[in-house]
């Protein structure tokens, strides 16, 4: 695992998520796409480290949600996905899209639940926001896997028979 | 073991004082303000092309709000003069200071509505001070970070926001306007039906606001589900917050 490339990638995606995408009301969660990628294509310990790191980056730009909920939810579900990948290989695009969708919904709900525990109000349209974000992420996510794999020098073997 | 340590770190962050963790978030925004501002400018340029031709321009909206505020201020002062039978010698904004601040990207994603402002001087800023944008109230100060010259503004559409308001046409009646997320706010259980388009004014608050100021306009008025004799009003902000580049914080009776 090339950690310097990983750090640069996470930083770039974080700035993109907070800057260019911030003004769109409905947008994919690129950090979550990164989470699923590393959970699928790295070994378990690397997946755990990368999941929590990406969650920390999401917390940094997650204002007004306080820090902590996204690190916990990304780390938890990223780890679970990494263990699941050991049993069920998630290599094909439809399965990757499904993994992104389910992970996004679960992390979104857990994030808002943990934020509620710390005193943040739960907005009325939380389900719509989480669903729309998950949908956009699952549509866009699988197509981003190849450029991420190229940058990280990871072989995806997607088209190998 | 790795998982346990990371989870513990996450829990520590979760239960750490929010003042401390907010500083980390703002520090990130402060360090990367240049790439973040480039991204937001590009997004603004892309959105500008999609503006409807019949939508009022920003300067037109500003003038309309300015006129509405002047009329309300004038009406209030006339009543005061008639009531006290004294010479009118008090300009409403006498003793008031304004702090100008630049806007850093707005978070209007349906979940929370707030923005971060960068001001050269944070002296005199306190929580709950009203913030002006395009001659109308857009929100209140929720957090101040003097070390990095930044402050956070909770918009009136934020779910945690509650402001005392009055509605044009309903004299003498005060209501609480609550943020509804999604760039809207609600005033519930109004006694009378209100026409769409009426101005909604934030009421004066001693130490924070000397005269009512426009905060939004009525966009919808429908009957309350639980009490059909009462009405629920949906309010849209009086200005497009996403177009704002700078705001002004109202400081009443600043300490010299």
Q: Which residues contact B13 (CB under 8 A, 6 or more apart)?
A: A56, A59, A67, A68, A71, B21
Contact A72 B11 (CB under 8 A): yes
Angle subtended at Cα A77 by Cα A32 and Cα A126, rounded to the nearest 5 degrees: 65
Q: What is the pLDDT of residues A102-143, one digit of tens each?
A: 999 999 999 989 988 887 777 777 888 889 889 999 999 999
Cα distance between residue A74 and residue A108, in whole Å: 9
**Per-residue confidence band for B133, with pLDDT thresholds at 50, 70 and 90:** confident
**Cβ density class A120-138: b for 16+ within 10 Å, e for less:** bbebebbeebbebbbbbbb
Residue corresponding to tokens 């004799």 = B229
B152 contacts in A (CB within 8 Å)?
63-64
Across chain A, which has 161 residues, the per-10-residue mean pLDDT values are: 90 87 79 93 91 93 84 94 88 90 93 86 80 91 91 71 40
Residue B134 has pLDDT above 70, yes or no: yes
Residue B187 has pLDDT above 80, yes or no: yes
Domains in chain B: boundaries: 2-48, 162-237
Q: Does domain B162-237 have CATH number 2.40.10.350?
A: yes
Contact A123 B112 (CB under 8 A): yes
**Per-residue confidence band for B106, with pLDDT thresholds at 50, 70 and 90:** low
**Per-residue confidence band for B68, with pLDDT thresholds at 50, 70 and 90:** confident
Computed over every residue of chain B, the mean pLDDT equals 79
End-to-end Cα distance, chain B: 57
Relative to beta strand B150-155, strand B213-223 is unpaired
Angle subtended at Cα B61 by Cα B253 and Cα B41, rounded to the nearest 5 degrees: 90
**Cβ density class B209-233: b for 16+ within 10 Å, e for less:** bbbbbbbbbbeebeeeeeeeeebbb
A15 contacts in B (CB within 8 Å)?
32, 35-36, 39
Contact B220, B196 (CB under 8 A): yes
Q: Give the 3-state secondary structure percentages of chain A, helix then strand then coil, rounded to 5.
A: 70, 0, 30
Using CB atoms within 10 A of its CB, is residue A64 exposed (0-12), middle (13-18) or buried (19+)? buried
H or E element, residue B220:
strand B213-223
**Of the candidate ranges B2-6, B93-97, B235-239, the one whose mean pLDDT is the lowest:** B93-97
Residue A31: what pLDDT? 93
**Neighbour count for residue A56 (Cβ, 10 Å):** 22
Contact A15 B24 (CB under 8 A): no
Residue B76: what pLDDT? 66
Contact B109 A25 (CB under 8 A): yes
Residue B95 has pLDDT above 90, yes or no: no
Residue B87: what pLDDT? 33
Residue B91: what pLDDT? 40
Q: Scanning every residue of chain B, which has its alpha carbon at the shortest distance from the alpha carbon of A63?
A: B25
H or E element, residue B182:
none
B22 contacts in A (CB within 8 Å)?
63, 66
Domains in chain A: boundaries: 3-152
Contact B18 A118 (CB under 8 A): yes
Q: Scanning every residue of chain B, which has its alpha carbon at the shortest distance from the alpha carbon of A71?
A: B10
Q: What is the pLDDT of residues B141-177, one digit of tens each?
A: 998 888 888 888 999 998 888 999 999 888 788 899 9
How confident is the model over B84-111, as a mean pLDDT? 59
Q: Structure tokens of B11? A: 């829990």
pTM for the predicted model, two decimal places: 0.56
Respond yes or no on whether ipTM tops 0.90: no
Q: What secondary structure does DSSP assign to A9-26, as a single string? A: HHHHHHHHHHTTTTT-SS
Residue of A15, A19, A82 lying closest to A52 (CA atoms): A82
Contact B254, B97 (CB under 8 A): yes
* Omega cis (within 30) before A37: no
Q: Where is pLDDT greater, at B60 or A14?
A: A14
Residue B45: what pLDDT? 53
Q: Where is pLDDT greater, at B227 or B89?
A: B227
**Per-residue confidence band for B256, with pLDDT thresholds at 50, 70 and 90:** low
A22 contacts in B (CB within 8 Å)?
39-40, 43, 105-107, 109
Measured between CB atoms, which of B21, B112, B114 is closest to A67? B21
H or E element, residue A33:
helix A30-41
- Quote the DSSP letter at residue B146: G
């Amino acid at each position: 695992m090339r950690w310097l490339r990983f750090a640069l990638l996470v930083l770039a995606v974080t700035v993109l998520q907070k800057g260019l995408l911030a003004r769109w009301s409905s947008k994919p969660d690129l950090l979550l796409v990164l989470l699923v990628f590393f959970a699928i294509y790295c070994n378990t310990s690397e997946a755990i480290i990368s999941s929590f790191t990406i969650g920390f980056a999401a917390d940094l730009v997650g204002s007004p949600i306080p820090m902590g909920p996204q690190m916990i939810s990304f780390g938890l579900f990223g780890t679970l996905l990494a263990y699941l990948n050991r049993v069920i290989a998630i290599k094909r695009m439809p399965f990757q899209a499904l993994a992104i969708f389910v992970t996004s919904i679960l992390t979104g709900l857990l994030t808002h639940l943990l934020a509620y525990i710390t005193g943040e109000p739960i907005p009325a349209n939380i389900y719509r926001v989480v669903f729309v974000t998950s949908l956009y992420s699952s549509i866009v996510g699988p197509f981003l896997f190849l450029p991420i794999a190229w940058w990280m020098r990871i072989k995806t073997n997607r088209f190998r028979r | 073991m790795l998982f346990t340590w990371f989870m513990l770190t996450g829990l520590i962050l979760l239960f750490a004082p929010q003042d401390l963790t907010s500083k980390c978030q703002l520090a990130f925004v402060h360090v990367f303000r240049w790439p973040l501002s480039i991204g937001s400018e590009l997004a603004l340029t892309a959105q500008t092309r999609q503006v409807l031709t019949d939508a009022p321009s920003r300067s037109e909206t500003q003038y309309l709000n300015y006129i509405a505020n002047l009329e309300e201020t004038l009406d209030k002062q006339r009543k005061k003069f008639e009531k006290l039978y004294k010479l009118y010698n008090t300009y409403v904004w006498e003793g008031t200071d304004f702090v100008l601040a630049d806007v850093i990207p707005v978070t209007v994603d349906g979940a929370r509505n707030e923005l971060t402002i960068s001001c050269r001087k944070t002296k005199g800023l306190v929580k709950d001070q009203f913030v002006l944008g395009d001659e109308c109230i857009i929100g209140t100060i929720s957090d101040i970070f003097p070390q990095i010259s930044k402050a956070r503004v909770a918009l009136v559409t934020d779910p945690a926001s509650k402001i005392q308001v009055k509605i044009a046409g309903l004299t003498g009646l005060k209501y609480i306007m609550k943020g509804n997320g999604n760039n809207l706010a609600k005033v519930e259980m109004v006694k009378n039906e209100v026409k769409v388009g009426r101005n909604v004014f934030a009421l004066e608050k001693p130490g924070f606001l000397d005269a009512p100021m426009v905060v939004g306009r009525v966009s919808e008025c429908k009957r309350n589900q639980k009490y059909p004799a009462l009405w629920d009003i949906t309010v849209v902000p009086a200005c497009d917050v996403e177009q704002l580049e700078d705001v002004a914080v109202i400081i009443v009776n600043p300490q010299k």
